[in-house]
Amino acid sequence: MTGTASSTLLYQEATANVEDAARAIDMDQKVRRVLLKPMNELIVNFPIQRENGEHEVLQGYRIQHNNVLGPFKGGMRFHQGMDLNESRALATWMTFKCALLNLPFGGAKGGVAINPAHYGTAELERVVRRFTHALGENIGPEFDIPAPDMGTDAQTMGWMMDTYLNSRGPGERQNARRVVTGKPVELGGSLGRESATGRGAAYALRHLYGQLDRTLSGQSAAVQGFGNVGSHVAAAFTELNMKVVAIADISGVVYNPEGLDIAKLTLHASQHRGVATFDACDTITPEEFFALDVDVLVPAALESQITAENVNDIRAHTIVEAANGPVTAEASKVLEEAGLNLIPDILANAGGVVVSYYEWVQNKTSSRWTARDIDSRLRDAIWDASDRVWSIRNDRGCSWRQAAYIEASNLLQKVYRLRGIFP
Ligand code: GLU
């Protein structure tokens, strides 16, 4: 499917981010035009067999937005709302995220339009293997490198890698493991990859508080999403002595003004398919969640969660976009005008792809870095990008989002100027 009203709007927002940056840096027209369109768009329709013996034909996508900085890079999402326009938006954001973090990668995104909760493990394995087979030569360790995203995880990457390797000649197999990142550690994955997005968001917040000369200890936070990103954001906040008072996930919202025990809640959520039945807390509605009187609000789930409808309810003074595109352009404007701090997604959630890069380098050089080494490199990468965004914002008096796009666009433009556009 090309797009629903909401994914079409999302893609319009992604292209508006590019247009905005192009205007701000007076970008060459030819570079602007190139960055506004994905390079390659792939749709695959492939059959899988369900447990009841029936066959189903699923639709998968891979959008390769840009590779001027290096191989296409980005997650594979399994979600019922996945379509062409959502993939285009997310792939565009990956190009700018990788550029902002100075990674030698371009941007891509893709996935399959299914609700993974409706499929058993054996069925999911067949989906992943058939999807990978359908993608064929369109992914590769020096060409396009998938990673986990919403609805996929390390196991998904393990199946993807195995399927890809089985299509290679025996002599090529070891070297091709880096065709995906976010793999289980035993298969060549990196230590620290699973927690990287959440920890990166916490490092970005620490940087902001440092610049503002504020202390994080004792600050209250509410986190929307308790999956691979939200649960690690909450754990990292707890390490910083912050008080995580509310967590929202698909099962419901839990709230305790004294602070939730994140370790216990993580265990509970894994055993009970969500946070909702956790005791030692109250339950509140999603509307009340966004209106909580907290210092820091972290949308770490789906896109378009803070919109014109609920933006005026927000009482937090700082928003960390751990998800991709969680605040609409309209809502961002309201927040900016109200003087809120907003750490934009391409910075706040870049930790995942940063450690994906470390995984790729470790695979390429047959080395293993320690968890400590990876975490300190991640911190430095996020702080370095934060410094650059912070100074552009201060120099220009623009929003954090604009500053992040300006920084990324400057690099992309420079590279296009140096390389020229063929022929
Ligand atoms: N899916 C993650 C993102 O949106 C990670 C991508 C990657 O590691 O390649 O940034």
Give the span between the Cα atoms of 121 and 119, in whole angstroms. Answer: 7
User: In which region does residue 259 sit, left (phi positive, over 0), alpha (psi from -120 to 50) or beta (all else)?
Assistant: left
Ligand 1 geometric centre to CA of 147 (Å): 6
- Condensed to tens digits (0 to 9), the pLDDT of residues 207-241 reads 999 999 999 999 999 999 999 999 999 999 999 99
CB distance 316 to 296 below 8 Å: yes
CB distance 78 to 24 below 8 Å: no
Positions marked active-site: 109
Ligand 1 geometric centre to CA of 94 (Å): 8
The region of weakest confidence among 125-139, 155-169, 274-288, 358-372 is 274-288
Angle 230-239/193-211 helices, nearest 10 degrees? Answer: 50
Buried b (16+ CB within 10 A) or exposed e, 341-371: bbbbbbbbbbbbbbbbbbbbebbeeeeebee
- Condensed to tens digits (0 to 9), the pLDDT of residues 318-360 reads 999 999 999 999 999 999 999 999 999 999 999 999 999 999 9
Q: In ligand 1, which atom is closest to the CA atom of 353? A: 8
Is the whole-model pTM more than 0.85? yes
The mean pLDDT of 19-39, rounded to a whole number, is: 97
Is 270's pLDDT higher than 90?
A: yes
Tell me which residue has tokens 């087979």. Answer: 133
The mean pLDDT of 306-321, rounded to a whole number, is: 98
Ligand 1 geometric centre to CA of 408 (Å): 17
pLDDT at position 279: 87
Q: In ligand 1, which atom is closest to the CA atom of 146? A: 9
Q: In ligand 1, which atom is closest to the CA atom of 75? A: 1
CB distance 322 to 349 below 8 Å: yes
* Residues within 6 Å of ligand 1 by CB: 73-75, 147, 149, 181-182, 324, 349, 352-353, 356
Ligand 1 geometric centre to CA of 92 (Å): 12
Is 280's pLDDT higher than 80?
A: no
In sequence order, what are the residues at sequence separation of 6 or more whose Cβ sits closer than 8 angstroms to the Cβ of residue 22? 31, 32, 35, 409
CB distance 18 to 95 below 8 Å: no
Tell me which residue has tokens 């220009």. Answer: 396
